Chains A and B, each alone.
Chain A
Amino acid sequence: MAQIEIAGLRKAYNGAVAIDGVDLNVASGSFVTLLGPSGCGKTTTLRCLAGFITPDAGAIRVEGRDIMGLGPEGRDFGVVFQNYALFPHLSVFDNVAYGLQARRVPKAEIAARVAEVLGLVQLGHLKDRLPRALSGGQQQRVALARALVIRPQALLLDEPLANLDAKLRFEMRWLIRELQRKAGITALYVTHDQAEAMALSDQVAVMKQGRIAQLGSPRDIYQRPRERYVAEFTGEASYLKARIAEAVGNGRYRVATAGGEVIANGPAGLAAGSRHLLLLRPEALQPGAAGLRATLQGRFFVGSAQHCEMRIGDEVIKLYLPPQAELGEGAAVTLAVDQDAAWLLPDEAAP
């Protein structure tokens, strides 16, 4: 239960910059996820925090106290590794008890606390097994229990679910969230799976090439991304070139596109006449009476919906139609735009 502050964190491996000025504030008790593609520096950030590597520059403070001088053993973080890193020669009980023994907690208390946390992850009956005799999911739960039992200042989790199958990943997601809430513990979680990030987090930090591109609630980064990179990484997205006709309210604009004029949200203070990209999430569009004029270019049936590609001028956008909708290819459709799911982005290609 601690507030963590990372400021200007920088790290290069033999001259190759891995993270380049990461700033992040993790509020006490909150669940923050670092989300980004492979190689963007998520693990490096987490490992700097855990004390496994020393950053070249920057500061890390816990509750306002600088912890850069401390080794990993002094930082009091519970780390969960992608490969679990269970001690292969120790039983489940001894693995979980390890951190308590290192802290010289009395024997009786160790037994009680280990039993309690093993109960939470439903592994009490396996406490005498060696890790190699456990399934992947069970090993993952031991790793979680081992990190939680020391009641650390914060949990640091690096893609803990990456090695599990889809169903188990789903279950573990809830377990992690529930345990974190119950313990009221601060958590920093690393993943490249946007659905996982959204489902778990209070705040998501989308990383891009060693920096944090945007920090916000899952809703924020999904509906109001600051740049195309963030929009792309947080879900299915299409874009239309758009020019602002006029502001019609605070952060609300009438914009002109190749398919006609629509009303869309955007950051406050965009100038009339400026060029932007209109971000359209697939669920923002529905056939309607008024809106964008488009022609159906192609579609495929996925069971719960039909995924369609629509042509507007020389641009193509995606949307989902209900499975029963009957539309022939080449049909002209008018698409109503849900104002709250359409968002204006800076057009990086525009001069």
Chain B
Amino acid sequence: MTARPWRLAILGAPALFLLVVFFVLPYGEIVMMSFRTPSSSAPYGDGVTLANYARMFADGHYLGILAETVAVGASITAICLLISFPIALHLSNVGDRWHTLFYACVVSPLLVGVLVRNFGWMIILSFNGPINQILLALGLIDRPVRLLFTVEVVVLALVHVFIPFMVLPITTALRNIPPSLYEASRSLGAGRFATFWRVTLPLSFPGVQSGVILVFVLAISAYVTPVLLGGQFVVLMPTVIVQQLIAAFAWPFGAVLAMILTLSTLTCVLVFAFATRGLARRAAIGRTP
């Protein structure tokens, strides 16, 4: 397999090029920027300093926002998982004829552009939008309530669009479980629930793990939805970072916030992967002879 390294190099070259130009270089720039002094005439000054980091850690405000961002990301991930597992279970069971249809339903949130989707939410949730009218008509409320610009709505909208990222890996994992394992479990005296608990759930774990990591990373870094549906009532890290960069023109401090967000996300993912590594390794359905 190691016979022709130059071939591999040629195959990998375009990807490597893109990675370097659009990922490694900008990231290097951000890392460097976070150690520079601010400047009013250029993105950053000439001096090298740790003051930006000191300011970040001294100010409880930013750490609070970071904590809230992680908490919101975690809730979105957890809700996504709870909703997606039954969907994946169903999707892994339907026959080939219906499979495509269900599949299309699951990925449908991704078929609508991010702006259109969020303006859709704004229309639905506005003061005289359909939700308020229905609630009024049912007599559940006396006058329209403010639904928009709450953290719940941001969570709802993000859960909606991230569900495919949770459903698809779990479905794949479930489809990889040989049906004879369910039969073996049942014939050994385990009922449906015990079989689900002891066979289905553990063996779907590789899919759950990918889904959780994917959704968490996406949720933490979401920008457009929190801005549009959360307004100034929901302030999360990506919003603050953009404010610092664009509005306050404080590029070095914005870079610090971006660094901290990235490192926090990375830490969360690594802790999660490490804590569940045993389960993931065992559940990986190997090549059985």
Residues of A bordering B, CB below 8 Å: 50-52, 71-73, 75-79, 81, 83-90, 98-99, 102-103, 130-132, 135-136, 139, 146, 150, 163
Contact = CB atoms under 8 A, between A and B. Distances in A.
Q: Assign chain B's interface to a size class.
A: 20 to 34
B180 A99 contact: no
Contacts of A79: 183-184, 187
A79 B188 CA distance: 8
5 contacts: A79-B187, A81-B184, A85-B180, A85-B183, A146-B188
Interface stretch (B5-13, B140-148, B151-159, B278-286): B278-286
Contacts of A146: 184, 188
Contact of A102 (B190, B203, B286, B287): B190
A139 B285 contact: no
Interface string B257-289: 000000000000000000000010011111111
B289 A102 contact: no
Given A81-B180, A88-B288, A139-B289, A130 B189 contact: no
Contact of A78 (B178, B180, B187, B283): B187
A72 B186 contact: yes
A154 to B, nearest CB: 11
Contacts of B31: none
Contacts, number: 85
A99 B189 contact: yes
Nearest to B181: A85
A98 B185 contact: yes
Contact of A89 (B188, B191, B283): B283
Q: Which of A76, A81, A89 has the most CB of B within 10 A?
A: A89
A87 B181 contact: yes
A85 B184 CA distance: 7
Nearest to A74: B189
Interface of A is mostly: loop
B286 A72 contact: no
Interface in B190-213: 190-191, 194, 198-199, 202-203
Contacts of B190: 73, 98-99, 102
Given A88-B203, A89-B202, A102-B194, A73 B286 contact: no
A132 B188 contact: no
B96 to A, nearest CB: 14
A79 to B, nearest CB: 4
A87 B288 contact: no
Contacts of B194: 102
Q: Which of A78, A132, A163 has the most CB of B within 10 A?
A: A132
Given A87-B198, A98-B185, A99-B188, 11 more contacts: A52-B183, A73-B188, A78-B187, A83-B178, A84-B288, A85-B183, A86-B288, A87-B199, A102-B190, A139-B289, A150-B189
Contact of A73 (B180, B189, B279, B289): B189
A75 B183 CA distance: 12
Contacts of B189: 73, 76, 99, 102-103, 150
A99 B178 CA distance: 19
A87 B286 contact: no
A50 B188 contact: no
